[in-house]
Amino acid sequence: MKKLCAIFTVCWLLVLASSPFLHTLRAEEKEVIVKNFTFKPDEVLVPAGVTVIWVQKDRAPHTITAKDGTFDSGKLTKGERFAQTFPKKGTFEYTCQFHPSMSGKVIVK
């Protein structure tokens, strides 16, 4: 009986580990959702070295473009992602090239 329990537990852990629904971000990642012409959240505070991942969930295409030109995702369509690592401290403002009214900020402490 104990052996069966152990097998069951291992199987269950494998299911959990492989489930996309329970996929948790690694500690060094931060997710920003792009939806309804906004970045959610539009301001993230992260320690240096963190990778910010933007997930594009709008029908309209968007870009993640640094205001100082240091990074640019190019055109992102629905379902696409863009990852950018921030190794240095600072405030990094970005916008969407197609919709300049969209703006967001990554603050690296």
Number of residues located near Cu ion, criterion CB under 5 A? 4
CB of 97 to Cu ion, least distance (A): 7
CB of 6 to Cu ion, least distance (A): 51
Would you list the DSSP string of 32-83? EEEETTEEESSEEEE-TTEEEEEEE--SS-B--EETTSS-B---B-TT-EEE
* Tally of CA atoms within 13 A in the half-sphere of 7 that contains its CB: 4
Residue 30 or 62: the one with the smaller Cβ distance to Cu ion is 62
Q: Which of residues 48-107 bind Cu ion (CB under 5 A)?
A: 62, 96, 98-99
12 binds Cu ion (CB under 5 A): no
Q: Where on the chain is the footprint of Cu ion (CB under 5 A)?
A: 62, 96, 98-99
